[in-house]
């Protein structure tokens, strides 16, 4: 699967890695929901580091991503406002 880290680039991960990705993602979401800045920074960095271990997708590759992550330097407030709030994504 192809995962994009927003404002950074795309990485290709194997199917076997999808479970770990989901797990790390859920941890970041839990920290975000708990409104815990420290925990969010820690869990989100682990998620980003995990994706960065994947194979970078070449600039001349036009395949779209399966998953897109927020930028690596996203703040808890941004994460909450952009991805958690009522505005952008209903439901």
Partner 1 sequence: MPGLSGRMSTVIKAKISKLLDRAEDPSETLEYSYQKQIELLQNVKKGIADVVTSKKRLQLQEQKLRDQVVKLDTQARQALAAGNEELARTALERKNVAQTELQSLDSQVAQLEQQQEQMTASEQKLRTKIEQFRSKKEVIKAQYSAAEAQVRISEAATGVGEEMADVGLAMQRALDKTENMKARADAVQELEAAGTFEDLTSLTPGEDDIDRQLKQLSSTSEVDAELAKMKAELGTGSAPVGELGAGTPSAGAGAEQTQQQSPGQAS
- Residues at the contact surface with partner 1, assessed by CB under 8 A: 3-4, 6-7, 9, 21-22, 25-26, 28-29, 32, 44, 47, 59-71, 79, 82-84, 88-89
Q: What is the DSSP track for the chain? A: -EEEETTTEEEE--GGGHHHHHHHHHHHHHHHHTT-HHHHHHHHHHHHHHHHTSEEPPTT--PPPSEEEPPTT--HHHHHHHHTSTTTS--
Q: Which CB atom, from 25 or from 36, has the smaller least distance to partner 1?
A: 25
Q: How far is the CB of 11 from partner 1 (least distance, A)?
A: 12
Q: Which CB atom, from 32 or from 54, has the smaller least distance to partner 1?
A: 32
Q: How far is the CB of 86 from partner 1 (least distance, A)?
A: 12
Q: How far is the CB of 41 from partner 1 (least distance, A)?
A: 13
């Amino acid at each position: 699967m192809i995962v994009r880290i927003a404002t950074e680039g795309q990485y290709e991960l194997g199917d076997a890695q999808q479970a770990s990705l989901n797990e790390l993602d859920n941890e970041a979401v839990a920290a975000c929901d708990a409104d815990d800045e420290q925990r969010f920074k820690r869990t989100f960095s682990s998620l980003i580091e995990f994706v960065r271990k994947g194979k970078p997708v070449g600039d001349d590759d036009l395949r779209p991503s399966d998953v897109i992550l927020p930028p690596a330097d996203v703040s808890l407030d941004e994460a909450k406002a952009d991805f958690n709030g009522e505005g952008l994504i209903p439901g």
